[in-house]
Amino acid sequence: MAREAGLITFSDVTFEYTHNKPILVGANFVIRRGAKFTLMGQNGAGKSTIFGLITGKYTHNAGDLNIMPRTTIALSRQVIPRDELELTVREFFEKCFSEKVYNIDPKIDEVLEVVNLNAPHDRIVKSFSGGQQARLLLASALIQDPDLLLLDEPTNNLDVAGIAHLTDFLRAYKKTVVVISHDADFLNAFTHGVLYLDVHTHIIEQYDGNYHDVVKEIALRIEKENRKNAQYAKEIQANKDKANFFAMKGGKMRLVAKKLREEVEEYEESKVDVRKEDRTIRPFTIGVPEGLPPKILTISSYKVIKNHKPTEQTCNIELKKNHHLQLVGPNGIGKSTLLEALASGHAKGETIAPHVKIGYYRQDFSTLNFDDTVYDALTNVMEKKIEEDMRSCAAGFLLGRDVMQTRIGSLSEGQKGLVAFAQLVLMKPGLLILDEPTNHINFRHLPIIAEALNKYEGAMILVSHVPDFVEKIRIDEVLDLGKK
């Protein structure tokens, strides 16, 4: 088969989890050998499901899904499953293969060098930071040397250096890549085209060019379709007015009225089904409780990881009302560990004012009970459990009636993030601790989230590796954990 032939071909592919809940309807697209594509779409649209169809995790309901014979496929997952966190690095990589691989250690060293991670092979996976685990996930796909590399949000938790390293690797990568990501700058650096999954129509649209090209093309199409429909609407109303006028005249004028009504029907049928743009969450406010003390948190010392060993550092940080602190430092320095300790309220060197409620957004969403329904997860954090308030808040985060009884564990990662933000709004914490709050979140939502954090009037501690996001938030103090 020719080199330019389709490595993966979807022909009228339809897939639905349950009856009347379609993910794909008549999907048609081709991924050619050596191409580098972005897969875009709203949170919960089904992007990861498409990866599942390609890997064979799911089976399509109709149409043809053809994969070139002997094509090897590897998926870099979004998160490490909980049952793999107790594995050693060596066991984690051995699990990537269906058959035992002898002398695997040199292969592990090779891929760890590619992702710029120094990791002893007997180290336990859960001991790595979120950013280091992201590198392990990427390396677990690369070690398989696949014909088709599927990357699901690979930049989540990566610091600036890690993203740059991954970008350089993908630019030089000779095989086929499909990436799910909300990081426009990252995608623009190496992709050739975009597959866009429309959450409303469940149709895949295929575009040439990078992310910015596609956004511009979609915007122009919407503008053109709206202008065309506006013209049709004008003609329709004019003909309706004429038809009513002639109908009242009686006689032969009724025939004219009938013809005009037929033209109205033709115009109605000609109206373009204008694409619904991805919805964004509503602007929101994370309130603070009444009677919040002026001084909320003091930190006199903290621990960082240097040369694989915990080292205690002294400091003098005092967080008052409306005071925003940013933690910075490279992956593995101990940012998430420090946040988790502070969120417990009992970290060494931490003094927190009595009765201050802590809202903690974890990058792995482990503060959520995955067995809870969305309804329970939101209701449980409310002091006054008023269902109308809960549903109104949920709707603002695109969590409608259709997902209220869905288990948290069954949601997409992006939807879990929206549930976590909705919880913070309903909780009204006095101290807000945020660990990589942009992970998995649709890029359209980020300016709204940033604005809410910018206006937050309690004490806040933020970790984020996304400069454009942080720039929109007022930061009063920066603690650099990597500073000597």
pLDDT digits 0-9 by tens, 240-251: 777 777 777 777
- What integer pLDDT is reported at residue 189 of this predicted model? 85
Residue 352: strand, helix, or coil: strand
Q: Give me the amino acid identity at 82.
A: R
> What's the burial of 278, exposed, middle or buried (CB within 10 Å: 0-12/13-18/19+)?
buried
Q: Looking at residues 143-154, what average pLDDT do you find?
A: 91
**Higher-scoring residue by pLDDT: 19, 71:** 71
Rounded distance, CA 351 to CA 345, Å? Answer: 8
- What integer pLDDT is reported at residue 3 of this predicted model? 43
pLDDT-based confidence at residue 276 (cuts at 50, 70, 90):
low
Domains annotated for the chain, with CATH where assigned, are: 6-72+146-215 (3.40.50.300), 295-480 (3.40.50.300)
Phi, psi dihedrals of residue 98, rounded to the nearest 5°: -75, -25
Half-sphere exposure for 244 (CA within 13 Å, toward CB)? 5
| Residue (of 419, 413, 365) closest to 48 by Cα position | 413
pLDDT at 4 over 70: no
User: Which residues on neighbouring strands pair with residue 281, listed in sequence order?
Assistant: none
Q: Give me the amino acid identity at 188.
A: N
| Residue (of 180, 182, 177, 196) closest to 74 by Cα position | 177
Rounded distance, CA 310 to CA 306, Å? Answer: 6
Rounded distance, CA 343 to CA 433, Å? Answer: 7
Whether the Cβ atoms of residue 225 and residue 274 lie closer than 8 Å to each other: yes
Helix, strand, coil tally for the chain in percent (to 5): 35, 25, 40
Q: What is the mean pLDDT of the chain?
A: 86
Most confident listed range (36-45, 104-113, 166-175, 227-236): 104-113
Dihedral sign computed on CA atoms, order 434, 437, 439, 440: positive
- Distance from chain centroid for Cα 283: 18
Rounded distance, CA 38 to CA 207, Å? Answer: 10
Q: Give me the amino acid identity at 379.
A: T
Look up the pTM and report it.
0.66
- What integer pLDDT is reported at residue 2 of this predicted model? 42
Q: Looking at residues 424-442, what average pLDDT do you find?
A: 93
Q: Looking at residues 135-152, what average pLDDT do you find?
A: 91
User: Looking at 49-58, 189-198, 240-249, 397-406, which range is the least confident one?
Assistant: 240-249
pLDDT digits 0-9 by tens, 283-317: 999 999 998 998 999 999 998 887 778 888 899 99
Whether the Cβ atoms of residue 181 and residue 38 lie closer than 8 Å to each other: yes
pLDDT digits 0-9 by tens, 76-101: 887 888 889 999 999 999 999 988 88
pLDDT digits 0-9 by tens, 337-374: 899 999 988 888 899 999 999 999 998 888 999 999 99
